[in-house]
Every structure is written in C-alpha cells, then in structure tokens.
C-alpha cells in the first residue's frame, strides 16, 4: 500500500484563532446558516462604487454615500479591483486613500457584486464569480456523514479551549476535519478508519473541495498518518461551481458505503473465524502459526490462552495473539505480532 501523511488539518490548526473554531458540526452549521440568512448580494456598476471617508475611516461608498465597512479581505479585493498596492494604501491617510481610489477605480464595465452583512462588505467580486454558501456543503455532510465527528482536540498555539477542534470558519473561509471513530476495519490486514477534509470560501479566498481518505493514526497536532485511498476534488467558483455539491455528495456517500461494505465483510470474516476450528495437536498448530510469522514462544502462550477460553478456533488464536502482543515492549516486535495475527484471518476470508 502507498501510505501518505496528510497535513491539511495540521496547517489549519496552526493558522486559526480560537474565535474561528467550533465545538461541534451543529454549531458550525448554525453559524453558517445565520451568515447566509443575514448576508445579501448588492450589484452596482463600477462607477457607483467609490470608497469614502466616514468617521475617520475608509468605507465603501455607493453613489457618494458611506454604505459598507471594510474588513481585511474586502479591502484587499478593493485594492485589486483598483489595481493599487494594499501596502501602499495602508500607509496613506483615509482622505488620501479615498483620492487614490477615486482616480484608479474602474469607471465602466459590468456590475460588481458586494456581499454585505450587517453593514459590512464581506467581499467584492466581478460578475463572473459564482458563490457557493458554506451551509450548502455542511447540509450534505449532515445528511450523509452522520457518524463522522471531529478528531481529538489538539493543542494549537493560541488555544483557549476552542482553538483546536478541526472545525473552523472565519471571515475568509471554512474548513472541516471529520472522521468516523467507529469505522475501523481491515485493509490488506491492517486497521484503518475513514475521514475527510472539506473546505470552501464564500468570499473567494480559496476553492471549494474535499479530500477523502482512510487513516491509521491522527496525532495531537492533527497530522494524519499512514493514509491510503486518498481522493482529492476541488472546483473554482465559476459558473458551474454548483456541480461541486453533487460531486462532494457522491464522494462522501462513496466513503460511507465503502466503510459499511468493509465493516460488514470484516464482521463476516470474524464470524466465520469464530466457527472455524484449528484441529490437531499443539505441535501442528504451532507449525501453522510459524508459517504466519509467529514466534514459537508467543505461539505456545497463545495456544494455552486460547484453550483456556474454550474451543481452539482461528478467532480464539487471533484474539490471544492480539492481547499478548500488547505486552511486548519493542514496538517493532509488537507490530510484527499484530500483522501475524491479522494474516491468520486470511484463512477464512
């Protein structure tokens, strides 16, 4: 298997402030639903949009009247629209900055769209931009990924109890890191569980996308270790961005279906292993275990333990080997023992 280390969740953890983190998917959904309900698009021709000075600060004016406050992102987009340097404008007084925009803003062209929220301009876009609301994606997650939840809380640099959840939404974008903690199953004799990253921006900061995977471990810093079957999908916010919702729905549903299929198959194997006896004398059983890489000493202990629990079956031996391997000090030897135990299940797969 080609295993990968995934760091999207780690990168998000270390760039998010506590006020951008949410304790649960439901909390995040409600926040994004409020944003959608309370926000609206305003379409104006370029010549009607011109920054003005109001109460000593620069605001986005409409037809000469102060209308919308600017945040860091919408101010950046305003500078891009005017073709001026943000760093340069930040060094000017509000009055001088307004004069710069008066001379550099487009004087004609297609209407521009302003995403407004309670008097704040969240974003400023050209007509070609097509918005996809965060809550549309989260509704898909709530519908199909019902067993998924954030990973264990991590320790972010600005952590105040909320800054390390894996669920984030700030003024520029949204990010979700979800896993199924009960979805463990076997892939080629090793244990994996499903998970995915989901991201979007309502204001044009990043594309919309998803990355699904099967993982073996997640560390405290939200690095995903030994991931397999990694699938990536992303789409820019152009005219057909709405199709991304259907594709993300398909990928999440595929991940869930695959989990159920693997879990059911694994349960079937276990049930069969519990009924399949390992007959013969102990020496014959030890020879079989030796072929699967089990040391003689560990095999002897496993056989004794399995016989004490009742019938000597493939499952009772695998269960005994798994319990005994937990007492092995050396991590490499412990891994070898676990792999040997899992390989025995192939006898009934």
Domain ranges of the chain: 4-36+132-263, 46-108, 276-347
Contact at 8 Å (CB) between 338 and 327? no
Question: Of 153-162, 164-173, 300-309, which range is least confident?
Answer: 153-162
In the prediction, which pLDDT does 323 show? 75
58's torsion region: left (phi>0), alpha (psi -120 to 50) or beta?
Answer: beta
In the prediction, which pLDDT does 161 show? 44
In the prediction, which pLDDT does 328 show? 63
In the prediction, which pLDDT does 303 show? 82
pLDDT-based confidence at residue 337 (cuts at 50, 70, 90): low
Q: What value, to the nearest 5°, has the Cα angle with vertex 285 and ends 279 and 288?
A: 120
Query: Kind of pairing, strands 120-125 and 65-70?
Result: parallel
140 contact partners, CB below 8 Å, separation of at least 6 = 245, 248, 249, 252
More confident residue, 186 or 73: 73
In the prediction, which pLDDT does 336 show? 66
Nearest alpha carbon to residue 41 among 88, 111, 94: 111
In the prediction, which pLDDT does 287 show? 82
CA distance 146 to 149: 8
Length in residues, the chain: 349
| Structure tokens, 347 | 């006898």
Nearest alpha carbon to residue 163 among 27, 29, 12, 19: 19
More confident residue, 291 or 89: 89
């Amino acid at each position: 298997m080609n295993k990968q280390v995934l760091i999207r969740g780690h990168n998000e953890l270390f760039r998010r402030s506590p006020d951008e983190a949410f304790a649960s998917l439901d909390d995040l959904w409600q926040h994004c639903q409020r944003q959608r309900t309370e926000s609206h698009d305003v379409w104006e021709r370029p010549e009607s949009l011109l920054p003005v000075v109001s109460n000593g600060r620069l605001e986005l004016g409409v037809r000469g009247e102060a209308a919308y406050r600017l945040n860091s992102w919408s101010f950046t987009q305003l500078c891009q629209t005017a073709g001026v340097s943000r760093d340069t404008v930040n060094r000017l007084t509000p009055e001088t900055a307004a004069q710069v925009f008066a001379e550099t803003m487009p004087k004609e062209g297609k209407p521009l769209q302003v995403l407004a929220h309670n008097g704040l301009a969240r974003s400023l876009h050209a007509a070609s931009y097509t918005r996809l609301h965060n809550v549309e994606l989260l509704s898909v997650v709530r519908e199909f990924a019902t067993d998924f939840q954030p990973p264990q809380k991590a320790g972010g640099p600005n952590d105040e109890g909320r800054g390390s959840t894996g669920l984030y939404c700030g003024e520029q974008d949204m990010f979700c890191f979800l896993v199924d903690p009960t979805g463990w199953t076997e892939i080629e004799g090793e244990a994996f569980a499903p998970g995915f990253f989901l991201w979007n921006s309502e204001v044009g900061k990043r594309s919309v996308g998803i990355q699904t995977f099967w993982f073996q471990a997640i560390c405290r810093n939200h690095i995903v270790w030994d991931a397999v079957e990694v699938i990536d999908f992303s789409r820019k916010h152009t005219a057909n961005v709405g199709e991304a919702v259907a594709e993300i729905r398909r990928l999440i549903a595929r991940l869930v279906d695959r989990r159920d299929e693997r879990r059911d198959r694994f349960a079937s194997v276990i049930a069969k292993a519990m009924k399949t006896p390992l007959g013969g004398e102990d020496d014959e059983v030890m020879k079989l275990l030796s072929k699967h890489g089990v040391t003689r000493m560990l095999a002897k202990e496993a056989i004794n333990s399995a016989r004490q629990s009742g019938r000597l079956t493939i499952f009772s031996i695998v269960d005994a080997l798994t319990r005994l391997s937990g007492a092995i000090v050396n991590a490499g030897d412990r891994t070898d023992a676990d792999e040997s135990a899992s390989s025995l299940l192939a006898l009934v797969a």
